[in-house]
Chain A
Amino acid sequence: DAGITQSPRHKVTETGTPVTLRCHQTENHRYMYWYRQDPGHGLRLIHYSYGVKDTDKGEVSDGYSVSRSKTEDFLLTLESATSSQTSVYFCAISDQHDTSTDTQYFGPGTRLTVL
């Protein structure tokens, strides 16, 4: 299994509070991704990073920000959590951005509940 960890694994928070999720990898892969997964939807890309300090928006980026100050860490911040952000969040990594030649490996996920 690829060396990807996510923390926390579970979190319950209240509406309006900031929340930061952490993804840590030991594979030295260049690309890192944050997805959310909700019933009735596939995984949807929130943000991704193609290197230290290099990030870009995905499909559902509103209300989220990211930072990558080191190759191994990719942080996802919910600036002011809302109930619609209750979800399971997955981090993924890949060595190549071209997925025709490389696979994305996923972390174990973080279950976030916003009350």
Chain B
Amino acid sequence: RKEVEQDPGPFNVPEGATVAFNCTYSNSASQSFFWYRQDCRKEPKLLMSVYSSGNEDGRFTAQLNRASQYISLLIRDSKLSDSATYLCVVNIYNQGGKLIFGQGTELSVKP
């Protein structure tokens, strides 16, 4: 079983739609959680960290459920420029500062 699992998609949505991505992790020692964004043939870039209380950055909302070992990312009012692959990433406490990446969920926003 993969340590971090995501639905690979693709998610095809119209502009203005709300879309949610989910991610599950298997190691209960996971300490920190992130969403990265990766554009086609580009490097990953940090989108946002995920905090226990949930956090919001503009149109993006991240949630963490430690009991269910589940992370989510909600994108409201989708823009064409949101088209990318979204990577769920965890830092596992007993593996030092190393990051474990999910395989990513592809989002395509259409006009």
* A positions within 8 Å CB-CB of B: 31, 40-45, 48, 58, 90, 94, 96-100, 103-104, 106-109
Contact = CB atoms under 8 A, between A and B. Distances in A.
Contacts of A99: 32, 34, 91, 97, 99
A109 B87 CA distance: 16
A106 B39 CA distance: 13
B103 interface: yes
22 contacts: A42-B2, A42-B100, A42-B103, A42-B104, A44-B101, A45-B98, A45-B99, A90-B44, A94-B97, A97-B96, A98-B91, A98-B97, A99-B91, A99-B99, A100-B31, A100-B32, A103-B46, A106-B44, A107-B43, A108-B43, A109-B42, A109-B43
Interface of B: 2, 4, 31-32, 34, 41-46, 87, 91, 96-104
Nearest to A41: B103
Contacts of A96: 97
A14 B76 CA distance: 47
Contacts of A97: 96-97
Contacts of B2: 42
A48 B98 contact: yes
Given A42-B87, A99-B32, A104 B99 contact: yes
A103 B35 CA distance: 11
B91 A90 contact: no
Contacts of A107: 43
Nearest to A90: B43
A42 B91 contact: no
- Leading 9 A-B pairs by shortest Cβ distance: A42-B101, A97-B97, A106-B43, A100-B32, A43-B101, A99-B91, A42-B103, A103-B46, A99-B97
Given A40-B103, A41-B103, A100 B91 contact: yes
